Each structure stands twice: as C-alpha cells, then as structure tokens.
Chains A and B, each alone.
Chain A
C-alpha cells in the first residue's frame, strides 16, 4: 500500500519532507479524513431521509385516518341500502321476482304457461 496520497514531484524539498514524513499523510491520516468526510455526508443523507420519511409518514397517517372514516360511513350506508328479505318466500322470492317481471315483458303467455308447468 502506498503510504502517500500525493504524487512524488521530484522536488528535493518535497522528497526530503516525504522521507521525514513531515507533510505526507499516512494511511491513518488519509483514511481519517475520508472517513470523517463520508460520515458527514452520511449524516446529511440520513437527516434528509428522516425529514422525507417523516413527511411521508404524516401524509400516510392522514390518508389512513380518512380511509378509516370512509370505511365507517360506507358500512353504515350499506346497512340501510340493502333491501330486506321478504318474510314469505325468502331468498327464492327475492330472486324470482325480477325474473318473472322480465319474462312477462319478453315471452308470450303460452310459453310462460309451459315453463310454469314444467317447473311445477
């Protein structure tokens, strides 16, 4: 591993300084610098993420509240909108009613009589 991060210039003063180690960053110094710079960047990124995520969390929280309210309203509306099942005839009468109405409109009487006879 090269112990310097600056290229050798050939200048005797620089060479002498490098030999003595006076101005040459060591591996530790170079990596301390890189580590510190990156740590500061990481903190900035982490802060930006926290701010962004907090905003999104608040937005999601509001949306969840609205959706919960809508669910309650729709549930209440559905309970009143569903027609009551007739007491006599039950489910069969509920289904057969509209079919009979359509049949009356589109089928001749003779055909309707035959169907009624066949179905009992």
Chain B
C-alpha cells in the first residue's frame, strides 16, 4: 500500500505576528505516516511587504506559495486549496488557518484517524480554541505558541487517545482534514458565505447529508490562537465571534442544526473528554519532568508567579515541571484545596488534607521541590507527608507573610 499524500493548504491574510511561527511549525511535521506538502495561499495580504516576506520564508522552508491577484475571502481562498489537492492527486487535504502551531505528529494522527472508517468525511484537530470542542486552558497564548510545549501536549493526547474519532455536529476549518474522495462527492465551500464564517458548517452539513461522518481527532493537537486576522480585516464586528448574516443562511438551510448541537451538548461528550485530556496532559508532565509543590498562598512578589501562568517549558523550549499548589483551610487546616497546573491546563479539587497528601504522593511521587508559604505546623506537616521524611527533597519555608496577611 502506497503512503498517503497530504496537501496542507494554509490560508494567509496578514498576520505578521503569527504566520512565520505557523510556517515553521508545519515545516517540522512528522512524515512517519504520510507524505506532506504545504501550500501557502496568501489572499492578497495588504500589509506592506508582508507577502514578500512570507514568500521568502516559504522558499526557505520548501513550502509552495501562491498570492491571489485579488482578495478572494476565506471560502474562495480555501477552495483554491481544495482544488489544488484534487488537481494534484492528493489523498487528503488539510484546510488550515495560519495562526496555528501543529504538534509534530498532528498530521499523522489526523490521517490515522481518517483511516479508521471510510465513512469519515472530515477530521478536525483538537485544540484549546476550537469552538465548542475546546480543551479549557487559562492562558493558551502564554504557553502553547511554543513548539516544544505544543509537542508535549500533542504527545500526551496522542498517547492517550490514539486515532479515536469522536462524532461532532460540524467540523472547524482551523485545521481540518478531508479525504479527497469525499471532496469529489460533497464539493467545495459555497462562496455565498462571502468573506467567511459558517462556510465549513455548511460544508459539514452537506457532507452529513451525503452520508459521511464529521469527527474530532482527539489524538491530534494543534494550537490555535484564533480571531486575530479576521478582526483586523473587519470581518468580525467588535465583540462578535461570528457573522450573523451567515448564521442566518445556516438556520435557513439546516433548520435542525441547532438541535443537533444541543443534543451534542446534552450528551456530555466534551466535559468527559476534557477531563480525560487534562489527566493525560498533567500525568505526562509529572512523569516526564516531575513536579513542584507549593503549600499555602504564594505572595504576589514570588518569582514563581501565579501557577496558572507558569509555563510547561521555558522560553528556550526546554520542558518544565508540573506545579501543584495546595491551600490548607478549615478547622485545624484539615481541608486542602489542590490546584494542579501545567501550561495553563488546570485541575482543581478539594478533599481532606491527609487524603490530598496521599493522593499527590501516589499519583506523582516525590516532588522536585517544596515551598511552604504559610507559617504553621499544618502546612509543614503536609509538606513532609508528601515529600517524605528521608530528606531527599529540600523543603523551603518562606517566613515572609504573603501580601494578603
């Protein structure tokens, strides 16, 4: 069996702050499963000098580059990518935004997911910013735009979910793979959606009517910043996340679509998957890099900063450790509020202090470091319960009261 060929069509409209990182990211994609060609479709970006910069970068990275002589709008620019895939005899096409960072194995995972069922019409990558399917993250733009961090998240999800395809009501074209045979049946995007928004929902519902499945590839992670270029282009009105006129077309053509989305929500699919994803990401960070324990509230001036904004990796891309913050409260500090966070992925729970210490020790082992910010026996006792009495972990007790006191 020959290796599948994938055309990754990356649409660009301005975006000096994000496009170079996206182009660099897709240049580093794994080719273990598929042969991947990248085609950058510049929709006549008006930023002075920008198109020339993108073209030069594409040449250097080995990507195809095409600048439309006139601005086409998102649907027609995407269509160029779809047509190029058909014309070039590709097996799959990925339509992709340019404010993205692909985890290295993402395209391989998308292909493997599509290969699980011939009825799959599309596979949307998973992300922290993918409409109603988003994995919660407190500060994605602070962490996930670093390739190393996105790769770690991608590996965690790939290892846990593999090529599982989850059925969804509509695909999201920020990073969506379509088998080209499906494209021949369903057709391309409808230009009636003008400059864009909702065209992939229309395409999705047409593909369902043709008998295909719409799926989310939960083992394929792609970071998506989102919204920047469309807001700058005036496509979205301030404060809006969609184009009402285009939503009206969807409502007219597919009167049952809203109820299909409602049924998807009611099924509780995403909360379950999100919880499992968090567990996978946190578990991997702990296994690979260990964890740092903090007991008590960190003072505002602490170099460690807020755990929600610390990164899994430093700015050089080196991987970092998980953070576990415990705040003791209640009568004789018998309860513990535990916050586990890595790269903005955060999990919290409250239980008894004894049980919390046991759970942390069992799940994550001995900490790399321990900082105690609350004065008092309970906090230090808790720290020793987790770290052990063998003195392997140095417990730093900070006698400076936090600002709240």
Contacts and interface: CB of A to CB of B under 8 A. Distances in A.
A27 interface: yes
B88 A2 contact: yes
Nearest to B64: A1
B191 A42 contact: yes
Which of A1, A3, A35 counts the most chain B CB atoms within 10 A? A1
B64 A34 contact: no
A46 B191 contact: yes
A30 B84 contact: yes
Which of B66, B68, B84, B88 counts the most chain A CB atoms within 10 A? B66
B245 interface: no
A38 B76 contact: yes
Interface size class of B (residues with CB under 8 A): 20 to 34
Contacts of A46: 191
Contacts of B62: 1
Contact of B65 (A27, A35, A49): A27
Nearest to B5: A2
A27 B80 contact: no
B191 A45 contact: yes
A31 interface: yes
Interface residues of A, number: 16
A117 interface: no
B68 A35 contact: yes
A45 B192 CA distance: 10
A38 B80 contact: yes
B68 A1 contact: no
A37 B38 CA distance: 22
A34 B9 CA distance: 14
A88 interface: no
A22 B105 CA distance: 37
A8 interface: no
Contacts of B192: 49
Interface string A1-30: 111010000000000000000000001101
B76 A31 contact: no
A2 B37 contact: yes
Which of A3, A27, A28 counts the most chain B CB atoms within 10 A? A27
B83 interface: yes
Nearest to A1: B64
A3 B88 contact: no
14 contacts: A1-B37, A1-B64, A2-B64, A3-B64, A27-B64, A27-B65, A28-B66, A30-B84, A30-B87, A34-B83, A35-B72, A38-B79, A46-B191, A49-B192
4 interchain residue pairs of minimum CB distance: A1-B64, A31-B66, A1-B37, A27-B64
Interface of A: 1-3, 5, 27-28, 30-31, 34-35, 37-38, 42, 45-46, 49
Given A34-B80, A42-B76, 15 more contacts: A1-B37, A1-B38, A1-B62, A2-B88, A3-B64, A5-B87, A27-B39, A28-B66, A31-B84, A34-B84, A35-B72, A38-B76, A38-B83, A42-B191, A46-B191
